[in-house]
Structure 1
Amino acid sequence: MKSSPHDPTPRLSIGQLAQRSGIATSALRFYETEGLITASRSSGGHRQYPRHVLRRVAFIRAAQVVGLTLPQIKAALATLPDGRTPTKADWTRLSAGWAPLLDARIAALQELRGKLTGCIGCGCLSLKACALYNPDDKVSDQGAGARLLRIEPGA
């Protein structure tokens, strides 16, 4: 999509978009590669973004704060007609579907808080018995060595 000299739509360079959105240029390039945002090219090949991409980037960041992955965000944006920028009504509709995700995260954090309180009293930090690091010694099934600490709902 090339920018026309007769196109009155104000355009932002990638640096301007990064400065105004607070997002690194590398992240903006990644968002473009992933199909979350689009840019036209100047005659010199430089990226040029329509101003409405600022709102789209804000939507992406807000959805990430909620805990959505980029594929989930891309799927949400794909529900918008003609790939347009999300409106307040779009946000309301889409965010209503994310409530169960937030509820699950809240439940997992509350469970973590309960386990942490128990650990404060115990203080053992045993890799075999610790309910926080290794509930029911489940990690032993994965073999010897260090494993990532992942707190999942119901873990």
Structure 2
Amino acid sequence: MAVSEGLSIGALADRTGLAVSAIRYYEAQGLIRPWRNAGGQRRFERADLRRLSFVMIAQQFGFTLPQIKALLDQLPGGRTPTKSDWASISEGFREALDQRIETLTRLRDNLDGCIGCGCLSLEACALYNPTDRAAQKGQGPRYLMGDSPES
């Protein structure tokens, strides 16, 4: 198949390992934008291989499709992303991953202690979180989210 003819949805599925239905779903979500050939068949640019690979990796790291779309929307439409384009988009990706790494590190380091959930079910909770002080800091496991018991 000539590059100018684009990739069929089947060829894109074979290359990415995604099901055709998943590719159609990502299309419906605006993550990729195929065009139609003279016969009305969907055709995809080779750059869509990179876009879908990015989607798959980002999902493995816990990013939602709206978050991924926001990142991909920074890329210029109608042309293959350049190394500079990917460097730019990866900056926001890197920042989010760094925050997630910090959270996971806190979880790992405090797994056997209080995470500030407000459960008051462990004897130690009376020491770390008497009268559910963590609730004053907001919803969720406050100490895991970065608040400290002292603040």
* TM-score relative to the length of structure 2: 0.64
Task: Provide Cα deviations, 1:81-127, integer angstroms capped at 9, x if missing partner.
Answer: 334332221121121223331122111111211233449xxxxxx99
Number of equivalent positions? 130
- Structure 1 unmatched runs, 5+: 1-6, 120-125, 142-148
1:3-152 matches, within 5 Å, as 9-42=4-37, 45-118=40-113, 128-129=121-122
Specify whether residues 84 and 45 from structure 1 end up closer, same or farther in structure 2 by C-alpha distance, changes over 3 A only.
same
Specify whether residues 82 and 43 from structure 1 end up closer, same or farther in structure 2 by C-alpha distance, changes over 3 A only.
closer
Specify whether residues 130 and 83 from structure 1 end up closer, same or farther in structure 2 by C-alpha distance, changes over 3 A only.
farther
Matches of 1:83 and 1:74, distance apart in 2: 16
Matches of 1:98 and 1:52, distance apart in 2: 19
For residue 12 of structure 1, give the secondary structure of its aligned residue in structure 2. coil
- Structure 2 unmatched runs, 5+: 136-140
Alpha-carbon RMSD across the aligned residues, in angstroms, is 3.5
Match of 2:146 in 1: 154
For residue 60 of structure 1, give the secondary structure of its aligned residue in structure 2. helix
Q: Identical aligned pairs, as a percentage?
A: 48
Matches of 2:36 and 2:79, distance apart in 1: 19
Deviation >4 Å, runs of 4+: 42-45, 135-138
